[in-house]
Each structure stands twice: as structure tokens, then as C-alpha cells.
Chain A
Amino acid sequence: MIQIRVHGRGGQGAVTFAHILCASATYDGKYGQSCMGATVERRGAPVEAYGRIGDKPIAERGVILAPDYVIVLNSQLMKAVNVETGMKDNGKLIINSPKALELKHEATYLDATSIAVDLLKTPITNTVMLGAFAAATGLVSLDSLEKGIRLILARFSKDKLELNIKAIKAGYEEVKRGKGVH
């Protein structure tokens, strides 16, 4: 079982990131389970969401203390939160940051905010980061991500949904082009 922890600020879509990712994994024939911690979330407060992906039904629930992957939707958050807490030794990070940072674990960086602002006209980066996650880890296919987002965001308007699918692809390509990989 692969464990994924997503860090963001309330309102940036960390929880939705986990839901779309784990729903998408089910289209690849895997089992996915996403959740959030028991917290009081306010807009702008540090938020964590969790995803588990495995080859058999997932038994454990709740907070992930020892993640294989850590996603950071907003690198400014790293001043307040140690996102590497509890990470497995060979764990990897995918970080929304235009430049590399000093960390103990291997990390992939991309400027997801610029891509999101370009495409979505808002600095909400979760869909860009989903694409980046797929490219960096190969844990979920781009096709499945598209199916997953259509499922989870079914009540979005068509235009908004299509734009977010574009954002997934843009994040995917950004990492595939090998930009900023460390």
C-alpha cells in the first residue's frame, strides 16, 4: 500500500486532490481510499489530506504518519509546517515551487501556481499538481485521472471541468519535460 499525504491551505483543494487521486486509482484496477484528518479547517489554515492506494481493499483509515509521497500545494506553507515529518526514508516529495529547496528527501518541483493562474485564472493548484504527481510517480495514469476528476467534480460546470482537465495535463507535461526535477 502506498501512502500519500497532501499539504495545503484551507480552500486550496488538498482534500479534493486526495479524493480525485484515489478515485482515479480505482480505474487502474487498484483500490483507493482518501480521507482528511479531524481538524477545524478555516480558509487559509494549514490542512492535510490523505490518500492510500493498494492492490487489495484498504483496511487502515485516518491520519497518515509515515507517507511514501508528500504533496505540497503551497511551498509558503513550509515555513509553518515541517512537511517531511514521519516520511519514509525513500519517500519523495512533489512541491509547488519555482525553485528547489533544501530538503532531506528527493523532490520534484514545478511552478504550479503560474500554470494554474494561466489556465484557470486562479492560484488553485490541486489539479496541476495531480498531473505532476502522475508524471513523477507513474502511480496513476493520465486517462484514469481524467475519469476520476469527472467523477468527483461531477457537479462542476462543463467549462470549469474541462479547464481543470487541461490543468492536469499541463502539470503532467511540465514534469515530463523534466523541468526542475531533482
Chain B
Amino acid sequence: MEMFLSGNQCIAHGAKLSRVEVISAYPITPATPASEELWEMVEHGELDADIVNSESELGAMGICVGASAAGCRTFNCTCSQGFALMREMLWAASGMALPVVLAIASREIGIPQGLLSDYSDSLSERDASFLQFYCENGQEIIDSLIMAYRVSEDERVLLPSLVVTEGHRVSHSFDLVDVPEQEKVDKLLPKYQPKHVFVDPDYPMSQGAGVMAQYPSFKMQQYQAMQEAKQIIKDVCQEYAKVFGRSYDLVEAYKTEDAEFIIVGMGSMVSVLRDKVDEYRQKGIKIGMLKLRVFRPFPEEEVRQYLSNAKKVLVIDRACTPGNTLGISCLEIKAALRKSNVIISNYIISGRDFGGTDVDEMFASWSKRDDEFVEWFKIGFDERTATISGSDNWEKLLKGEKVERQLIKEGEGCLSKGTASCAGCLSLQAIRQVLSVFDKNVVIVNNAGCLSAVGTFYPLTGWKAPFYFFTYSHAGAAASGMEVAMKRKGIKADIVLVAGDGAIFDIGLQTFSAALERGHRIIYLCYDNQAYMNTGVQKSGSTPYMAKTKTTLGGRQGRVKNIEQIVAAHGDIYIATASSAFPEDLLRKVRKAKSLNKPSFIHIICPCPPGWEYEPELGIEIARLGVETGTVVLYEYENGKTTVNYVPRERKPVEEYIKKQGRFSRLTKAQIAQIQKEIDGNFYQLTGSK
């Protein structure tokens, strides 16, 4: 059936047609919409699968590995640093011979945090024993996902697969796609019935045992399975072509037979190259194109077969391996052609878009030159990179010139006006209020989240105080390291770690907990808008019961973490809750935290207009209702003693708070009563009053 779908929707359709049984989901731009689409499919009964929201990508891959070890067909979609965080579990999947399939909507790996697609995420895992398929468009994503399961699950292979597409460039572009019929797919890809790894108490097996001298033998088997996979991929492609009429192979050679010039590419650039080959052929130029569709296993023989007779080969690479001059795919092409006399040149284009004019410029230069060159195409030194710290004075400083620094005073605020937050953003307001308490001697450490995209985006920065963005999962550890180093160097400044709820409750909990345990003097500030808002509203550990997000479509079910109790379990820590509607209470608490010589945790509930679905001007009113209904209790906790700061004279029913928010719009009376009951219980427990 023809459908007009985005690349991400194609990822979801590919997984659905493959009848995946367990899916893990964790948001990361630009792969998130694929998980959201899968949630929609499950919610609407179009797909019979268990979909699990995880706390991080490491968790997401863990879920896939666990579910696959228990005998289910599993799936996840991710990219970039999320994929990097999965690393340990990737090697577990291939080591345990688990045919997990992952889709990658490729994106650059930070830092700096980029949004373009350059394959550095997937190609840097080329040694993890995953089969790697690179897709040109949405159609190929669907087809490749189905075939990937078939190949991965083949008993001669039993290795996991990556199906890679380009983030934004393909994941967010819509095309006409022929979605295969389920019945035909079912015949090609039968139900997954593993004979090697499963759970059966009547047939107990031990997995993941330690080895000593046998490891090389295991590695050799993996190596051989990867080599054998080549023929199996070819066979599956042929079978697929018979059923669906679309032919794929390890590579696609386009007009290479008599070609003097051949350009080698991967992914969506190949469509452009194919058109250009046609155009140049009409002008009488003997040119061809080789598409590398499968990168692991690397199609060495095919590369030799199609490229050996050319005069010149140009390899276009998106990713490089710093330390070797060649781009990653060129490196492998050269190795394959080591015995031939072909002149092989290499352009590295990284995450740049690629169009017809780029081919013209490349060809004009390359066709005239006789040397073997490696060059970055239209990418040069951007002198602004030197001023990325936000101080335009950096260059002056380097030259030894005198620079007047803009420093902040107490009450002034270290984040300037005009940042790119949504209208009515109360998280930003809370952060401004908190930071206004500090003078210039403050260092701000940040996990990924709304703030990291709002406070600074190259080449601009709104920060007047030192600001350090670390990754999502490890800011707690990085802040600890800073505290130790600053002490050692005698730098006297407060460290404030600013993190959203996803970073504190979920992905960053491990390093946050370890930092608390060690007792570094850090003020942890959680601006809690109760979901992953930066990626477009997905469920976090803090999302309240029955709140709708894009990954809890029918309303959040199950337990909600009590973060204060978790923090309190670490010993002597100053803990305080706060609300956007009570700024003086918040400021007092921050001042107190600043005065203490121990860790502090301040948890601010910040309504979010797009995420909670209300008009921007209603934010403070909703925040106030949160407190007046007892949903949010303002209190402090220190060494076993709870001090409640505000008890409403007459507590309002929670319905008043809920009905102003679109995310709760579908609640039944019984569900509201259930929420009321839980709030009553919690309120009584904390305040001792009803």
C-alpha cells in the first residue's frame, strides 16, 4: 500500500511489519518520533507488542538484550550519544548471539552537541559485531528492517543488526513509500523461535559465563559468522525481490561496467549521485556510482569486482577516524583495492547536506587531478570556534590584550534576557530566580535538557557565569570532578548542578546518587516539568499518574518515584521542595543551601505550557493550584526532620488543578478520585494535617 511517510514512520512500520514483540523506548532527537509512532501503533491495537519506556539508552539496550535472551524479537530506535551510551550492551548482544535489531536515525556525537547526520555514531561501532545496513530513503528503511531480522535470526549468523538512516535529512522528510503487505512479510519472516538462547525451566541454560583461553575461539566464531552473513544477505535480498519486486544487495553498482570515473557513497547522497551519473553520461562522460549498502560485513569482493577496472575512484565519507587521514569507508575501500592501480581519492563531508551542485564542484576538481587526495569538502576552520566559550574576548585574551570582563553581582542574574525558551517557560524563570542568589562566584553544571538548548547555542551564549554542559548521564560525576579540582586549585565558588527531571530521576540518577554519597558540596537543582520536554513530551520517572505524554498515550500508569526519599537515603543532605508560584520561599531555600557546607537538593515543580497543555499565561496560577491542592507540598528535610513551609488554610480539591491541564483532559471521575486519595495520603504523611 502506498503511504506518504517520514523516515521515522518508516522505521516504525518496518518494526511493526517484522512483528517485533518487545520494544524499548527512550527519547533522543531525531529518533524520538519513531518510538512515538510505535507507541501510537500499540495504543491503537495495530501492533501486538510490549513497549517499555526505559530510563536511559543503556537501559533501553538492556531491555532489548534481556528480552531477546528470553526468546523474543526485540527492537529499539536511537542515535548519537544515546547509541554511545548503549555501547557495553551492544557487545553483550553480539557476544550472546542475540539477533536484536536497532534502527539508528544517525546524528553527530557530542560534544559539541550537533543535530546533523554524519554516521559517526553507527560507524564508530563497526567493531561491535553488528551487521550494518545503510538506507537511502524511507522505502529502504522498511525493506531493510524486515530483511535485517531475517538475516540476524538465521542460525548461521545470529548476530544483531543496525539499520541506519540519516537523522532529519531522512528521518524527518516525507516521501511516497510502498508499505509491504503483512501476509507476505509473515511468509518471508516467520515467528522468532530461537533454538540457542531462550528461557525454559525444563531446559536450564547458563548464559554469559566467563571464559579464559577460549575467548579467541569465541571471537573467531563471531568473525566467521559475519563473513558467512554476506551470502545470506544476498540470498535474503533475492528472496525479497521475488516477493516485493525491489532488489537490494550488499552494494549497488550503477553504470560501472565501462566507467572510468566511479563515485562511492552511502545513504541518501546516493540518490543524488545516481541522477548525476545519468546527466554526465548524456554528456559522454564515462562515470558510474557504487552504493555501499552493507558496511558490516564489508563487501570486499564486490568492491574489487566493480571498482578495479576504473581509472579513478572518489569516495565520499560522512565520518572520519581522527588519527588516520582517510575517511572510514575510504579506509576500507583502499584495503579492498590494495592490489589494484586505481587512483582513490576521498572527500569528507561530515554532516553537510549533499546536493547536485556539490557533485558538480567535486567532479570539476577531482576529474582534473591525477593525485590521490583526501580533503574535507567545503569545510574549513571556523574562526568563531575559538570564541565558543561565550566570551568574545577569548581571542584578545590569547593575544595577551587587556579585556574587561562582565561579571555579575548578587541579585543580577547570570543568564541574560532573550533566550530561546518557549513563551511562559517557568523552568527558565525558576533557574533565573535560583541563580540570582549567587554572586559571580558560581559555576553552573548542566545535564542535557531544555536548559542546555536554551541557555547557549553556538555562537551565542546567555551565560555570564561559567557554564559547563556535560552529557546527560554523567553530569553528577563531572560536577564531582570539578568540585575536587576546584578545591585543589583553591577556587572558591559554589557549584550548582542544574538538571531536569529526566536527568535527576532517570538517566543521571546513578552519578547523582554517587555524588551525594561522596558528599561533594554541590547544590543540585532539579527543574521538574514532569516529562522529557526538550524532545517533545515523553514520560519520565517524574510524570504523574494518569498524565498523558507521547509515550503514555492513555495516561501514565504504575508507580512514580519519590525522589526526596531517594535523596534522603544518602544521609546528611539539605532537601527542599519549591514551586514556581512561591518565589520567596524558593529564594530562602536557595540562600540556605548556599550557606551550608554540605550537599543540597532543591526540587522545583515547574509547569510547562506545551507539555502540560495550557495557555502560557496560566502557568503561575496552575503552579499555585498545585500547592493549594496539596499536590505539591512545600517542605524542607534535614537529618530526619521535616519542616512543612506552607499549609493551605483550606485545601482545594485536586480537580481544580487537573482541569486546567490538557494532559489530564481524559480522566474519569474514578481516576480523579484515585488521584485525590493518593494526594490526601501523601499530604497527611508530610504535614500531619488533612
Residues of A at under 8 Å CB distance from B? Answer: 10-11, 19, 22-23, 26, 31-40, 42-45, 57-63, 148, 151-152, 155
List B248-295 residues whose CB lies under 8 Å from chain A.
268, 271-272, 274-275
Are A61 and B457 touching (Cβ within 8 A)?
A: no
Are B423 and A43 touching (Cβ within 8 A)?
A: yes
Given A22-B174, A42-B422, A35 contacting B609 (CB threshold 8 A): no
In the assembled complex, how far is the CB of residue A2 from the closest CB belonging to chain B, in whole angstroms?
Answer: 15
Whole-angstrom distance between the alpha carbons of A45 and B418 in the complex? 11
Are A59 and B274 touching (Cβ within 8 A)?
A: yes
**Nearest residue in A to B533 (C-beta to C-beta)?**
A42
Q: Indicate whether B680 reaches chain A with its CB closer than 8 angstroms.
A: no
Whole-angstrom distance between the alpha carbons of A19 and B457 in the complex? 28
Given A40-B115, A59-B274, A34 contacting B173 (CB threshold 8 A): yes
Are B420 and A61 touching (Cβ within 8 A)?
A: no
Q: Indicate whether B175 reaches chain A with its CB closer than 8 angstroms.
A: yes
Are B174 and A42 touching (Cβ within 8 A)?
A: no
In the assembled complex, how far is the CB of residue A17 from the closest CB belonging to chain B, in whole angstroms?
Answer: 12
Whole-angstrom distance between the alpha carbons of A45 and B457 in the complex? 13
Are A40 and B168 touching (Cβ within 8 A)?
A: no
Are B421 and A23 touching (Cβ within 8 A)?
A: no
* Residue among B116, B275, B353, B423 making CB contact with A44, cutoff 8 Å: B423
Chain B residues near A58 (CB-CB < 8 A): 175, 271
Chain B residues near A63 (CB-CB < 8 A): 353
* Residue among A11, A61, A151 making CB contact with B169, cutoff 8 Å: A61
**Nearest residue in A to B454 (C-beta to C-beta)?**
A42
Chain B residues near A57 (CB-CB < 8 A): 271
Given A43-B422, A44-B423, A61-B268, A33 contacting B167 (CB threshold 8 A): no
Q: Indicate whether B606 reaches chain A with its CB closer than 8 angstroms.
A: no
Are A40 and B420 touching (Cβ within 8 A)?
A: yes
The winner among B30, B272, B353 for most chain A CB atoms within 10 A is: B353
In the assembled complex, how far is the CB of residue A29 from the closest CB belonging to chain B, in whole angstroms?
Answer: 11
Q: Indicate whether B411 reaches chain A with its CB closer than 8 angstroms.
A: no
Are B4 and A60 touching (Cβ within 8 A)?
A: no
Chain B residues near A36 (CB-CB < 8 A): 168, 172-173
Going nearest first, the 9 A-B pairs with the smallest beta carbon separation are A35-B173, A62-B353, A59-B271, A38-B115, A38-B168, A43-B422, A23-B4, A59-B272, A40-B453
In the assembled complex, how far is the CB of residue A21 from the closest CB belonging to chain B, in whole angstroms?
Answer: 10
List B157-197 residues whose CB lies under 8 Å from chain A.
166-170, 172-176
Chain A residues near B30 (CB-CB < 8 A): 38
Q: Indicate whether B66 reaches chain A with its CB closer than 8 angstroms.
A: no
Whole-angstrom distance between the alpha carbons of A102 and B166 in the complex? 39
Whole-angstrom distance between the alpha carbons of A6 and B168 in the complex? 17
* Residue among A10, A26, A43 making CB contact with B4, cutoff 8 Å: A26
Chain A residues near B167 (CB-CB < 8 A): 38
Given A43-B422, A57-B271, A61-B169, A35 contacting B174 (CB threshold 8 A): yes
Whole-angstrom distance between the alpha carbons of A56 and B73 in the complex? 38
**Nearest residue in A to B616 (C-beta to C-beta)?**
A43
| Extra pairs beyond A61-B169, A155-B40 (17, CB < 8 Å) | A19-B174, A22-B4, A22-B174, A26-B176, A33-B174, A35-B172, A35-B174, A37-B168, A42-B421, A43-B422, A43-B423, A44-B423, A58-B175, A60-B271, A60-B354, A61-B268, A148-B4
Whole-angstrom distance between the alpha carbons of A40 and B168 in the complex? 12
The winner among B4, B272, B423 for most chain A CB atoms within 10 A is: B4
The winner among A26, A43, A61 for most chain B CB atoms within 10 A is: A61
* Residue among B168, B176, B356 making CB contact with A35, cutoff 8 Å: B168
Whole-angstrom distance between the alpha carbons of A59 and B175 in the complex? 11
8 contacts between A and B (CB under 8 A): A32-B174, A33-B174, A35-B174, A36-B172, A36-B173, A40-B453, A60-B271, A61-B169
In the assembled complex, how far is the CB of residue A148 from the closest CB belonging to chain B, in whole angstroms?
Answer: 8
Whole-angstrom distance between the alpha carbons of A44 and B609 in the complex? 12
Whole-angstrom distance between the alpha carbons of A31 and B274 in the complex? 17
List B391-445 residues whose CB lies under 8 Å from chain A.
420-423
* Residue among A19, A35, A44, A151 making CB contact with B422, cutoff 8 Å: A44
In the assembled complex, how far is the CB of residue A23 from the closest CB belonging to chain B, in whole angstroms?
Answer: 4
In the assembled complex, how far is the CB of residue B78 from the closest CB belonging to chain A, in whole angstroms?
Answer: 17
Chain A residues near B4 (CB-CB < 8 A): 19, 22-23, 26, 32, 148, 151-152
In the assembled complex, how far is the CB of residue A170 from the closest CB belonging to chain B, in whole angstroms?
Answer: 24
* Residue among A11, A40, A61 making CB contact with B173, cutoff 8 Å: A61
Chain A residues near B110 (CB-CB < 8 A): none
Are A60 and B355 touching (Cβ within 8 A)?
A: yes
Chain A residues near B173 (CB-CB < 8 A): 33-36, 61-62
In the assembled complex, how far is the CB of residue A157 from the closest CB belonging to chain B, in whole angstroms?
Answer: 13
**Nearest residue in B to A35 (C-beta to C-beta)?**
B173
List B93-117 residues whose CB lies under 8 Å from chain A.
115-117
Are A32 and B353 touching (Cβ within 8 A)?
A: no
* Residue among B115, B176, B609 making CB contact with A43, cutoff 8 Å: B609
Are B175 and A33 touching (Cβ within 8 A)?
A: yes
Whole-angstrom distance between the alpha carbons of A61 and B273 in the complex? 12
Whole-angstrom distance between the alpha carbons of A148 and B174 in the complex? 12
In the assembled complex, how far is the CB of residue A54 from the closest CB belonging to chain B, in whole angstroms?
Answer: 11
**Nearest residue in B to A66 (C-beta to C-beta)?**
B357
Whole-angstrom distance between the alpha carbons of A148 and B453 in the complex? 34
Whole-angstrom distance between the alpha carbons of A106 and B175 in the complex? 30
List B1-24 residues whose CB lies under 8 Å from chain A.
4
Are B115 and A35 touching (Cβ within 8 A)?
A: no
Whole-angstrom distance between the alpha carbons of A26 and B174 in the complex? 11
Are A34 and B423 touching (Cβ within 8 A)?
A: no
Q: Indicate whether B610 reaches chain A with its CB closer than 8 angstroms.
A: yes
Whole-angstrom distance between the alpha carbons of A57 and B423 in the complex? 40
Are A38 and B116 touching (Cβ within 8 A)?
A: yes
Given A35-B174, A43-B610, A59 contacting B457 (CB threshold 8 A): no
In the assembled complex, how far is the CB of residue B397 from the closest CB belonging to chain A, in whole angstroms?
Answer: 29
Are B170 and A61 touching (Cβ within 8 A)?
A: yes
Whole-angstrom distance between the alpha carbons of A57 and B271 in the complex? 9
Chain B residues near A19 (CB-CB < 8 A): 4, 174
Chain A residues near B117 (CB-CB < 8 A): 38
List B519-550 residues whose CB lies under 8 Å from chain A.
none
In the assembled complex, how far is the CB of residue B142 from the closest CB belonging to chain A, in whole angstroms?
Answer: 16
Chain B residues near A148 (CB-CB < 8 A): 4
Whole-angstrom distance between the alpha carbons of A57 and B353 in the complex? 18
Whole-angstrom distance between the alpha carbons of A18 and B110 in the complex? 30
In the assembled complex, how far is the CB of residue A140 from the closest CB belonging to chain B, in whole angstroms?
Answer: 14
Whole-angstrom distance between the alpha carbons of A19 and B174 in the complex? 7
Are A35 and B169 touching (Cβ within 8 A)?
A: yes
Whole-angstrom distance between the alpha carbons of A151 and B24 in the complex? 28
In the assembled complex, how far is the CB of residue A48 from the closest CB belonging to chain B, in whole angstroms?
Answer: 12
Given A38-B30, A40-B115, A59 contacting B174 (CB threshold 8 A): no
In the assembled complex, how far is the CB of residue A149 from the closest CB belonging to chain B, in whole angstroms?
Answer: 12
Are A42 and B420 touching (Cβ within 8 A)?
A: yes
Whole-angstrom distance between the alpha carbons of A35 and B423 in the complex? 25
Whole-angstrom distance between the alpha carbons of A137 and B457 in the complex? 37
Whole-angstrom distance between the alpha carbons of A152 and B173 in the complex? 13
Chain A residues near B271 (CB-CB < 8 A): 57-61
Whole-angstrom distance between the alpha carbons of A36 and B40 in the complex? 22
Whole-angstrom distance between the alpha carbons of A151 and B268 in the complex? 25
Whole-angstrom distance between the alpha carbons of A33 and B422 in the complex? 29
Chain B residues near A152 (CB-CB < 8 A): 4
Whole-angstrom distance between the alpha carbons of A152 and B170 in the complex? 18
In the assembled complex, how far is the CB of residue A143 from the closest CB belonging to chain B, in whole angstroms?
Answer: 16
List B40-96 residues whose CB lies under 8 Å from chain A.
40
The winner among B30, B168, B175, B420 for most chain A CB atoms within 10 A is: B175
Chain B residues near A43 (CB-CB < 8 A): 422-423, 609-610
